[in-house]
């Protein structure tokens, strides 16, 4: 049996509690794998499955509650931080918003099984003003289902899992090096995709203080907020900005061709705004730029400018 099963056999369910808690707080600890091995050991009578399940749910709730509180206190800034350290940061906010728009609190359940969303859902719930009662109810269901799924998987395939772990233990360093190589390759591919997505490809930038001066002049640009609807609900758009999702930009392109346009978002490296600028450029809107730092940079410069949105229904 490999080191993981030996660790669980020695220290029992406390290892499960610690692994789940640390993973829910952010570091990429393989808590799901820990639960699978715990389920296999429980099926053999080497570990208490009820105790492992209870401590896993409690640990998950504690970790998620920390991020829920942070979301209530700091709003979207917390999600910006989480997305920056994620292996898929450029879409996790949009993906999380999309799930909350469609499913509401159920996102806290389904999100447990979706990489990226599992981390972003608790602070997003806080930023959107979900009550603690609703949060704990939904998150408890999600934690219980997630725990039961992986413990049950381990219990159902306990003999096969034991054989796999024994084979890995026999392979030793070769197996570890092979796994490390695969993980490194996956991370490299994702990093290259992120760089490609973030490449502005000639799209101009404008700083928040420069935009403030431009808006006060007779050459004021058309300002477009491409954040998701939940982000605009949590923090009102800049005064005078058009609230248009990425999927609505094409319908506006015809009337924007003579304008100077500035897009902003609330996302790592302004990726959504860059995507929107590329789209408009492709449709013939030549004078288009992206606000560097997005909504947060603007509000840090001029916090009293929030509010007053023209919501374009396109």
Q: Does the pTM of the predicted model rise above 0.75?
A: no
Mind listing the pLDDT tens digit for each residue in 48-76? 889 999 999 999 999 999 999 998 888 76
With cut-offs at 50, 70 and 90, classify the pLDDT of residue 279: very high
Using the predicted structure, report yes or no on whether residue 175 has a pLDDT greater than 80.
Answer: no
Using the predicted structure, report yes or no on whether residue 140 has a pLDDT greater than 90.
Answer: yes
Could you tell me the domains of the chain? Answer: 3-173 (no CATH), 204-311 (3.40.250.10)
What single string gives the DSSP state of each residue in the chain?
--HHHHHHHHHTHHHHHHHHHHHHHSS---HHHHHHHHHHHHHTTSS-HHHHHHHHHHHHHHHHHHHHHHHHHHTHHHHHHHHHHSSSHHHHHHHHHHHHHHHGGGHHHHGGGSTTHHHHHHHHHHHTT--HHHHHHHHHHHHHHHHHHHHHHHHHTHHHHHHHHHHHHHHTHHHHHHHHHHHHHHHHHHHHHHHHHH--TT-EEE-HHHHHHHHTSTTPPEEEE-S-HHHHHHSPPBTT-EE--GGGHHHHHHHHTTS-EEEE-SSGGGHHHHHHHHHHHHTT--SEEEETTHHHHHHHH-GGGB---EE---
């Amino acid at each position: 049996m490999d080191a993981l099963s030996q660790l669980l056999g020695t220290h029992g369910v406390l290892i499960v509690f610690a692994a789940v808690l640390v993973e829910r707080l952010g570091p990429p600890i393989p808590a799901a794998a820990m639960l699978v091995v715990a389920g296999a050991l429980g099926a053999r009578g080497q570990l208490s499955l009820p105790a492992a399940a209870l401590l896993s749910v409690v640990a998950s709730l504690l970790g998620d509650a920390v991020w829920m509180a942070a979301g209530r206190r700091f709003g979207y800034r917390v999600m910006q931080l989480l997305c920056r350290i994620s292996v898929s940061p450029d879409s996790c906010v949009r993906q999380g918003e999309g799930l909350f728009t469609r499913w509401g609190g159920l996102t806290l359940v389904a999100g447990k099984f979706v990489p990226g969303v599992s981390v972003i859902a608790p602070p997003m719930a806080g930023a959107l003003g979900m009550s603690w009662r609703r949060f704990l109810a939904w998150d408890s269901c999600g934690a219980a289902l997630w725990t039961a799924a992986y413990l049950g998987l381990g219990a159902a395939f306990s003999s096969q899992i034991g054989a796999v772990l024994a084979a890995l233990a026999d392979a030793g360093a070769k197996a570890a090096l092979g796994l490390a190589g695969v993980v490194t390759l996956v991370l490299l591919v994702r990093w290259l995709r992120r760089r490609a997505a973030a490449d502005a490809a000639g799209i101009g930038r404008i700083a928040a203080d420069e935009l403030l001066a431009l808006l006060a002049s007779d050459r004021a640009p058309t300002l477009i907020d491409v954040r998701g609807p939940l982000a605009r609900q949590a923090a009102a758009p800049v005064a005078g900005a058009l609230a248009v999702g990425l999927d609505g930009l094409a319908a506006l392109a015809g009337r924007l061709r003579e304008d100077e346009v500035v897009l902003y978002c609330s996302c790592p490296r302004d990726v959504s705004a860059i995507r929107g600028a590329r789209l408009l450029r492709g449709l013939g809107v030549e004078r288009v730029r992206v606000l560097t730092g997005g909504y947060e940079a603007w509000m840090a410069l001029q916090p009293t400018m929030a509010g007053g949105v023209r919501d374009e229904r396109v």
